Structure 1
Amino acid sequence: MSQIRTIIPKFLLHSRRLFSSHHCNIATDLSLKILQRHGFTESQGRQALNSIESLLRPDTYETIDYTLSSWKRNVLPRNHPDHVANHEDFKQVFWNQEARLLLVGENFIENRIYQLKNLDLVRGQNDLWQAFHLSPAGFFLQDWQEFLKKYYYITFKILPWLNSTNDKTDQIHPLIRHPQSIEQTYMQIKTRFIFAQRTGFKVAESKNVNLKTLLLLTENDFLQIYAPNCTVEEFRALEKLNMTELGNEDDELFEDLVQLSPKRQQSMKNTDKSFMKKSIEEGILLSN
C-alpha cells in the first residue's frame, strides 16, 4: 500500500505536467503561425513568445492576430520612405523589447492613444511612432495614473526649469524626443531634478541640457554635468531623504492633478475591462 500511495501522486503530477505542457505547446505553435503570417521570422516569433509563455492560452493566437493588425493600423507611419526598414523596426518592438504588447486588446490600444493625444503629448503620427518604437512599455503598458504623475512632474516642474527662456519654437514635446524618460520611476525623476536644482546649476549657461542628460545618463555621467563637485554618495543621500516624509514636497499636488485628469473613453468593451483586471493580476502592466 505504501508503494501505491507514493506512485499515484507521482503519476497524477506527471499527468498534469503533460497536460499543461501539451496545451502550452499548442498555444505557442498557433501563436507562432500568426506571427509568421505578420512577417516575423521563426526565430523572432519564438523569442517574443518565450518571454510571455506563462501568459499564453489556447486561444491567444486570435488576440495576437487582431492586436498586431491594430498596432499596424494605429502606430505605423503612413508615409515612411523606407517601408521595409520601418516594418522591421515595428516587429523589433515585439520580439526584442516588449512582447506583452501582443496581448492587449484593440480598444485598449485606441484608448491609450486617445489619452496620450488628450494630453497634447502626441501631436501626430510621427510622435506616436517615436513613443511606440523607443518606449513601448513606458507609454503603452504603464499604469496610467503612474504615467500621469510622472508626466505632470516633468511638464510642470522640470521643463520650465530646463527651458528658462520660455522658448516655444519646438513643436515636439520633450518627452517625445526622449521617451525613455517616462520609464524612470517617479522617485528617480524627482531626485535627479531636485539634486540638479539645489546644486545651483545654471541652465542658461550650459549646452546640451535636456531630459536625456538629466534623467537617462548613469549617475556618474549625470553628476559630471550637473554637479561635478558632488559625489555619488551625496546624491544617494538625497535619494534616501526623498523616500521619507521630508521629501514629499509637491507630491500631493501632482497626485491631485492625476485625479483631476480627463478620464478614459467610455466605449471600452467589457472584454477589455476584464482583460485589464486580469492583466494587473498577472503583472502584465508596469507600476513604478
Structure 2
Amino acid sequence: MTDFDQRFLKVVNNDYLLSNAFGMQHGRSPYTSAFYTWQGASAVFFSSCLTPFHRHNAIQLILDTQQEFRFRTKNSEWKTFRSLIIKENVIHQLDTNNSVQLIIYLDTATEIARLIRSEYLCESEVYAPQVNIFHFANSNQLQQALLRADPSLVEALMYRVLTYLSRKIGLIPSDPRVVRVEQAIAATPPTEISMKALAGEVCLSESRLRALFRHFTGIPLYRYILWNKIRFATNRIMAGDSVNDAAMEGGFTDSSHYHKMMVQVFGMAPSQFLKANLLNDFIVCERVK
C-alpha cells in the first residue's frame, strides 16, 4: 500500500455503508471499511474514488462486489474489470466506478504471493481472472463483511479467494515445532526475541528452523518476526503510546527504523495513525490460516 491508500482508512455509519453497498447515491467520498491486517496479508473494502497514479509494495487483488471498476497502468488505456491481480510496484490508477471493491494486499515474501505471481504474472503486470466475488460469498455473507468490523468474516472470504487462485494454499499440514515457535514469538516481548532462543525452544539449529518455518508457513522467519514487531508497536500506538515509545517497545532501533519498516510492509507511516485519528479502524488479526 502507499501513503495515498492510508488516508482513506476510515469507517462510516451503517446507513452510508448500506447505500454504498447497493449502488445508491451518497455525498461522502471516498469510502473504505476497516483495514484488516494479518501476517503477510491485508484487506479493505474500497469505493467512491478515482485514485491518482500510485503503486504498492505488495501484490494486489481487486474483486468488485457489484458491477465493474475501471483500471489503467501508466502505459495503458482505461479498461473495465470484475476482478484483477496486479504485480507489485506497478504504477496504476483505479476508478471505483460507483461500485465497491474488496482489495487484498499480499506481502511478496509469502508463499501465496509467489504462487500467484508465478501462476498469473510471469509475463504481464496485471491479470484478469475469470472469477466473481459471489463465487466465494453469497449476498448475505458479503453484506455482513461490509457492515461489520469482524476480521473472521473478511478472513474467511479472503481465504476462499486465495485458495481458489493459488490452488495450493492450505495443502501443507502444520508442524508442532512451527506452532511452538509462533507461540513463543507471540508471547515474548519483541525486544527479547532472538533466532538463537527460538531455535533452542524446539531443539533445532537456526538454519534448520528457518527452513522448517518457511516450508510450513510459506513465510521467511525473519519476515514473520518483523510482522510481529510491527503489530506489537502498532498495538502500543493504539493503546496510547507515542510513536517513539512504541518503536522501542516493538524492538526497533528507533522511530525512524519503525517508520521505514512500516512503510515497507504496509505502505503507511506510523504517525499517520495519530494524524488522521484512525486508530480504531486498523484491525490487527491473527495469522491467516
TM-score under structure 1 length normalisation: 0.30
TM-score under structure 2 length normalisation: 0.30
**Bigger helix share:** 1
**Bigger strand share:** 2
Q: Which has the larger radius of gyration?
A: 1
Q: Which has the higher contact order (CA 8 A, sep 6+)?
A: 2
